[in-house]
Structure formats: C-alpha cells, structure tokens
C-alpha cells in the first residue's frame, strides 16, 4: 500500500492519525505558587516590599469585612442584592495591584475591591447598593454594578462575558493611539464557554492586543461545577487555540497572582500579545445573596478550602516574616469593620432617591424631545397622584 493510500480511509477521505505523544494538559500547566505551606517563600520570588504586602493585606481584610457586612444588610432588607468575593480576595487584589494607573480594568462582578483600590469611595459604593442620591450610577444600574471612570474601572455588566470584547477593543484602540495602556479583564471559568470569550481571545491573539485575561476559576458557575462546564483539563490550555500565553496560578496566593499579572502586563507592553491567567481559587460562599449553595454543594467540599483562605495564608506569611505582629489580623479587622460602618452611615444619610430628572439623562449629551416630553408627563402624573413612581418627589 502506498503511503498516500495509508493516509486515506476506504472512501478516500483523510484517515485519522494518532495524535503525537503529549504531556497531559494539567501537567503542561502546573500551578504556579510563591507561598509555601509552611508560610514561607523563596525571597527571590517575593517581588513586593513588606510595606506593599501589608497594604495588600489591609485591603483584603477591608474587602472581607465589606462582604460580610453587605450580606448582613441584605438579610436585613436594607439592600436588595449583593455578590461578594469571600475566599477570592487574592485573585482580585493580586491582579489589580499589578496594573499601572493608566490601565483600564473591566470587571466581572466580584471585583468591588479593585474599584476601591482604584479610588472608589467606600460610601459611594454603598450608595450604589442603595441606589440613592449618592449613587454614582444614579440608580440606573442594578446593585453591585458600579463603575468608576476616574479610576478607569469600567461598568460591571450582568451578561456573561460581554466585558471581554470590550476590554480587547479598548486596548486595541489605545495601541492605535500609541498609548501605553493594558486592559485587565476578569471573568469566571463559566464565561470561557461564552461566545464573547472566544471572540475576544481570537481577535486579541491575531492582533497581539495588550490584554491580561484573568479567569477566576472558583469551581462553580452558580450551581454548575467546573467539570460540567468544559471538558478541558485546565482553563489555561485554552490559550493555545488562540496563540496566547497561558498560565495556571494558585489564585489564593496573592504573591503568585501579583507576579504572574505583572509578567503578563510586561509581555503585553513588549508587543508579545495577551495572556490568559487561570487563577485557581474557590467560592467559599454562595454565588450571590440570591443563591443557597447548600442545595447543590456538599460541606465536605468546602471545608478544605477554608484552610486555604488567602487572608490566613498572607497573614501567616507576614507574621513569620516579621512584617506583622500576631495580633495584627484582629486589630485590622476591627478597624475595617469600623470603616465599613462609617461608610454605611454616610451612605444611608443620602436622600433615598436621585433627582427625578436623572431618569432621563445619561443616554444622550442632551435629552431629546421624547425624553423631555416623558419627563413633563411624569411630573404631571406626580402632581395628580404622588404615589406614581413610588412617591418620588420632584
């Protein structure tokens, strides 16, 4: 049989060939770590100073206190909805802290801490949850969908993955303008099944757009476990299909996350294209306050991850390094609780609703005639019956 015949099947079509021997996918993408189990690290791999590490720890503690307090407010009926990042703080702060001031951040919906890091006032964030007159979004968004333009923090969107092409487009535009800007975009592992994920990574790979794709692989897409979302052994290996650099990082190790993000940003600025970082972490609580994970997730799965809590790991490292004393964790937690409490009080002091006119603003530079007519119609309706629009005053 000729070599050509051997390569063809009985009907003349190309016969399948055995794939070349390859390293198993998970082994090809080993989990990058800096923090060891004994709370030490190779000094050569610690890229942050003690002061910077303590600052990161302080932010993570504040974020934890914020999440716990906001869940409490939702249970009291004082806010309608909350979605937090308990257990995933290292993935959020490790990435955001590695970016430069001129970079844009495109969040998923658990990265409130990144917005605070970029300067969003804590009370303004709480106002967003209340949708009151102090809300920077003027009540136009659902709770937990903040944006912060002064900090180059784009708006959170509910649809899965829509922020990915937005991040690619912004970075591509910046490169055309010869601006030194890199986009950082967050998403969960469930979003890697979305059209926008493939669209964004494909275009970014073809044009070597300066983007850092940060996938928080927290094990669950609401109630769907990771193994039911994709047959791929890792998320990082999906980078291969688009010609990207892929890397798998311990997402509960803030030092490893920071270092990987910094390397990805430097590659992007050198024109070497985007990177896909798979940050392996775990969602310790429910997807949101509308979700009860006890309905689909056994507690024995959760408990081992509590021992890998990113705050505990960083605190243990700092104490062993001599950068914190043993009581620092409790002291910083108390300070953070007080800070959050003050922000809640400040936010709740704002009028319950934004001015009526703001309902018709923000779409066009100046409201068009239909918007002006609708505003006048609403004012007349309110004059006739103040209960219209929930008793909103003019």
- Active site residues per annotation: 283, 287, 296
Q: Count Cβ atoms below 10 Å from residue 139 Cβ, excluding itself.
A: 18
Encoding tokens for residue 7?
């390569």
| Bridge partners of residue 153, in order along the sequence | 105, 148
SS3 of residue 148 by DSSP:
strand
Element housing 66 (H / E): helix 50-75
Task: Report which of 215, 269, 212, 284 is spatially closest to residue 245, judged by C-alpha positions.
Answer: 212
Burial 245-261 (b: 16+ CB within 10 A, else e): bbbbbbbbbbbbbbbbb
Query: Which region, left, alpha or beta, applies to residue 195 given φ > 0 means left and ψ of -120 to 50 means alpha?
Result: alpha
The full length of the chain comes to: 394
CB atoms near residue 262 (< 10 Å): 18
Q: Map residue 240 onto helix, strand or coil.
A: helix
Residue 315 contacts residue 328 (beta carbons within 8 Å):
yes
Which pair of tokens denotes residue 277? 């970082």
């Amino acid at each position: 049989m000729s070599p050509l015949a051997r390569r063809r099947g009985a009907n003349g079509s190309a016969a399948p060939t055995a794939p070349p021997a390859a390293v198993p996918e998970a082994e090809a993408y080993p989990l990058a770590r800096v923090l060891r189990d004994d709370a030490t690290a190779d000094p050569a791999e610690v890229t942050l100073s003690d002061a910077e590490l303590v600052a990161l720890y302080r932010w993570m503690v504040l974020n934890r206190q914020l999440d716990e307090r906001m869940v409490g407010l939702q249970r009291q009926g004082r806010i309608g909805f909350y979605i937090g990042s308990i257990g995933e703080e290292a993935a959020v702060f490790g990435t955001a802290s590695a970016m430069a001031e001129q970079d844009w951040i495109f969040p998923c919906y658990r990265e409130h801490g990144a917005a605070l890091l970029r300067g969003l006032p804590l009370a303004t964030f709480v106002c967003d949850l209340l949708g009151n007159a102090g809300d920077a979004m003027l009540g136009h968004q659902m709770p937990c969908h903040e944006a912060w333009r002064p900090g180059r923090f784009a708006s959170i969107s509910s649809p899965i993955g829509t922020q990915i092409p937005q991040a690619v487009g912004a970075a591509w535009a910046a490169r055309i303008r010869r601006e030194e800007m890199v986009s950082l975009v967050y998403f969960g592992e469930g979003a890697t099944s979305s059209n926008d994920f493939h669209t964004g990574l494909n275009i970014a790979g073809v044009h070597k757009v300066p983007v850092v794709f940060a996938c928080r692989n927290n094990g669950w897409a609401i109630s769907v476990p990771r193994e039911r979302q994709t047959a791929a052994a890792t998320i990082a290996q999906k980078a291969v299909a688009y010609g990207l650099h892929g890397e798998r990082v311990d997402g509960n190790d803030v030092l490893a996350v920071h270092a990987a993000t910094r390397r990805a940003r430097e590659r992007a600025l050198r024109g070497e294209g985007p990177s896909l970082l798979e940050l392996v972490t775990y969602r310790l609580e429910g997807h949101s306050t509308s979700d009860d994970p006890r309905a689909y997730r056994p507690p024995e799965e959760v408990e081992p991850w509590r021992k890998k809590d990113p705050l505990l790991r960083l605190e243990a490292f700092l104490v062993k390094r001599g950068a914190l004393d043993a009581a620092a964790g409790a002291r910083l937690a108390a300070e953070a609780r007080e800070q959050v409490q003050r922000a809640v009080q400040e936010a709740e002091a704002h009028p319950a609703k934004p001015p009526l006119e703001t309902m018709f603003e923000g779409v066009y530079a100046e409201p068009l005639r239909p918007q002006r007519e609708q505003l006048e119609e609403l004012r007349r309706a309110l004059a006739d019956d103040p209960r219209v629009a929930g008793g909103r005053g003019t």
